[in-house]
Structure 1
Amino acid sequence: MNQDQLKLAVAQAALDYIAPKLAANSVLGIGTGSTANFFIDGLAALKSQFKSAVASSEASAKRLRGHGILVQDLNDTNGLDLYIDGADETNANLELIKGGGAALTREKIVAAAAKEFVCIADESKQVETLGQFPLPVEVIPMAREYVARELSRLGGTPIYREGVITDNGGLILDVEGLSITAPCELERQINQITGVITNGLFALRPADILLLGTASGVKTLKASD
């Protein structure tokens, strides 16, 4: 199976997983990225079985609306039943790196508001230690160089992602060269840098379940399985 086939398989597994959990008043959080897109396309067949969705990006909102799915603002809900999204990296504790699609801040908000976070990824995203994928950090534009200097002091090499402006008007620094052995600690440390909006570590709020696409089928994993 190629990578797209693995993504399609985990998207279908996620649809099968959430279908029995849906009710007429269910509100779903929907992520951003290529794997999430496969999920959104499949979700169209279930749109009569839940109320609405909250999207983590304008791109996902547009795709959901294109399938006739009601998209709500998070402020107009009482929280989310499920959040379904991909990841750029995951470890055995289901701590993640996200933000390759520059939607990390809204993804983190949606994850925080959800009762259950279902991560969908292919086996190439599973690592022993986070950090092989550059860690995205969203920053307020005027603080870009200051934050970059502070990130360098933490041992990483921040690279400005040129030409990218997030849905929040922020900029992205991708931090290379990190070996993240204490994800929760680093997540807090980076978020305390003045000018940082948030970073792409999802360790304080990790995934609850991981549906991992492999050559031998989709595996269902929980933390430290």
Structure 2
Amino acid sequence: MTDRNISTDSPEKRAAGVAAAGLVSSGMVVGLGTGSTVAYTIKELGRRVKEEGLDILGVVTSYQSEMLAIDAGIRLTTLSQNPELDIAIDGADQIDSGLRAIKGGGAAHTREKIVSMSAKRFVVVADESKTSTQLGKPVPVEVLPFAKELTVNKIRGLGGEPELRSAVKKDGPVITDNGNFILDVDFGVIRDPEALALQISAIPGVVEHGIFCNVDELYTGNKDGSVKIVSSQK
């Protein structure tokens, strides 16, 4: 497998990603997230498929994770064929002490949320830099292009400051896999993620936002190769 999403080796990310891959057993249908930490999970699952005969099906959340899974030799399926997943494994841009996460740095959070909500168990893999007592990173919000101005005004009414995400090496905005725009919204410290999530979801034109309140377990990797595991109290 070529490491398309692992530009430099990270012991912390590797430890978390590989440990979470150990939760997967033959016969499972697995949600495969997007990002640099879960790339290690996908690579490890591919190793187990080839060396241990692990028999699984994967549901991907982006073109990026699809390419990684194909390179790894993981057989893929869809939510239409397998609407209930045994487990979903994904990364996070930030996760708080209550296991509420912000995701969407890779603009794949809509599909990531659908996949995570389709799973019996949702596990986030991260390094320590992604953990925080409270959420405070900008929240990615996927919006219909037709509704951009309306959603911008409504989001400002909630106290957020939205910025249209611009593409790199391309003029204009980022276009998601679903054909939409991304607004990165700065709300400052988010004291009530669940309430804010509901408020954003109620805005016409919002496809999905990056606040995830459905994490079951967090695997945090450390430089020495150890992994801290925290389970939700829900």
TM-score by length of 2: 0.88
Match of 1:135 among 136, 139, 143: 139
Aligned residues of 1:136 and 1:199 also touching (Cα < 8 A)? yes
Structure 2 match to 1:218: 227
Q: Alpha-carbon deviation of 1:3?
A: 7.9
Structure 1 match to 2:208: 198
Aligned residues of 2:11 and 2:222 also touching (Cα < 8 A)? no
Aligned partners of 2:221 and 2:56: how far apart in 1? 28
Q: Alpha-carbon deviation of 1:128?
A: 1.1
Q: Alpha-carbon deviation of 1:66?
A: 1.4
Give the gaps of 5 or more residues in structure 1: none
Q: Greater shift after overlay, 178-187 or 207-216?
A: 207-216
Question: Partner letter of residue 153 of structure 2?
Answer: R
TM-score by length of 1: 0.91
Q: Does 1:65 align with 2:58?
A: no
Give the gaps of 5 or more residues in structure 2: 1-7, 168-173
Q: Alpha-carbon deviation of 1:8?
A: 0.8
Cα RMSD for the two superposed structures: 1.6
Aligned partners of 2:9 and 2:68: how far apart in 1? 21
Structure 1 segments (4+ residues) deviating >2 Å: 214-217
Question: Partner letter of residue 15 of structure 2?
Answer: A
Aligned partners of 2:15 and 2:44: how far apart in 1? 11
Structure 1 match to 2:19: 13
More helix per residue: 1
Question: Percent identity between the aligned chains?
Answer: 41
Matches within 5 A, 1:22-41: 22-23=25-26, 25-41=27-43
Aligned partners of 1:165 and 1:87: how far apart in 2? 20
Structure 2 match to 1:207: 215
Question: Partner letter of residue 219 of structure 2?
Answer: L
Q: Alpha-carbon deviation of 1:129?
A: 1.1
Measured against aligned partners, the alpha-carbon deviations of 1:144-177 in whole angstroms (never above 9, x if no partner) come to 1211111111111101002311111111000114
Equivalent residue pairs, number: 216
